């Protein structure tokens, strides 16, 4: 199932150059340019408040956006650069690149954990420690997965879940070239006095530290 792509709304900017850009900022807009995709560049304005809110939410540059401009067809874009005021650190201009559905792009995809009730380690009071709630994947712009799923069936205390244990969506691949840890099941406090439990936790801690 493809992930819903968030909208980024803009208007066409009349005029180009520094004068038009300054006028846009005075009117509470952030000027930008849309390029690529086999079409002519398009000068746009985005409401400052809306853009600022999206920037504060995080990962603006690694999010695929559905750009909506009055009088234009919707197009998928990714932000390649946000210029900021050197003193106030507020956005003053942005560059958006159009993407074809066959373009490949790296995005952070949510990790969903399922079948917790089928995990013996959790039934015994173990704790699921999530190391990576999101994983960066390289995917097709036209086929972005909503999530990747980790099946916890049969997982016991001390088990460590690596990316190799997960079935990735077709066509997707990780951007990190190593078998990194996604999560582990640690022992409940009542079992941590055992030597085996301590050793297992130390191994997990060492592996997680190696990832950082």
pLDDT value, residue 15: 79
pLDDT tens across 128-137, in order? 999 999 999 9
Q: How far apart are CA 112 and CA 147, in angstroms?
A: 7
Low-confidence ranges of the chain (pLDDT < 70): 1-3, 190-212
CA atoms within 13 A on the CB side of 14: 1
Q: How far apart are CA 202 and CA 66, in angstroms?
A: 45
Q: How far apart are CA 53 and CA 69, in angstroms?
A: 19
Domain count for the chain, please give it.
2
Q: Taking the CB of residue 169, how many other CB atoms lie within 10 A of it?
A: 19
Residues 161 and 113 in one domain: yes
pLDDT value, residue 197: 46
Range of the domain at 57: 7-99
The CATH number for 144's domain is 2.170.120.20
pLDDT value, residue 199: 47
Boundary-marking domain end, from 49, 67, 99: 99
Global confidence as pTM: 0.66
| 15, part of any domain | yes
């Amino acid at each position: 199932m493809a992930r819903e792509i968030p909208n980024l709304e803009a208007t066409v900017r009349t005029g180009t150059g520094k004068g038009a850009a300054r006028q846009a900022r005075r009117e509470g807009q952030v000027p930008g340019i849309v390029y690529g995709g086999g079409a002519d560049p398009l000068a746009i304005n985005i409401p400052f408040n809306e853009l600022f809110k999206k920037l504060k939410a995080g990962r603006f540059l690694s999010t695929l956006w559905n750009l909506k401009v009055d009088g234009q067809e919707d197009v998928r874009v990714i932000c390649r650069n946000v210029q900021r005021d050197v003193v106030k650190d507020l956005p003053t201009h942005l560059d958006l690149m159009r993407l074809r559905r066959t373009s490949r792009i790296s995005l952070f995809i949510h990790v969903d954990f399922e079948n917790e009730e089928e995990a013996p380690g959790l039934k015994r009071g173990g704790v699921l420690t999530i190391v990576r709630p999101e994983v960066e994947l390289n995917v097709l712009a036209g086929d972005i997965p909503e999530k990747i799923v980790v099946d916890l069936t049969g997982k016991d205390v001390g088990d460590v879940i690596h990316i190799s244990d997960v079935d990735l969506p077709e066509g997707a691949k990780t951007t990190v070239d190593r078998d990194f840890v996604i999560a582990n099941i640690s022992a409940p406090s009542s079992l941590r006095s055992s030597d085996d439990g301590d050793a297992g936790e130390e191994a997990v801690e060492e592996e997680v530290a190696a990832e950082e």
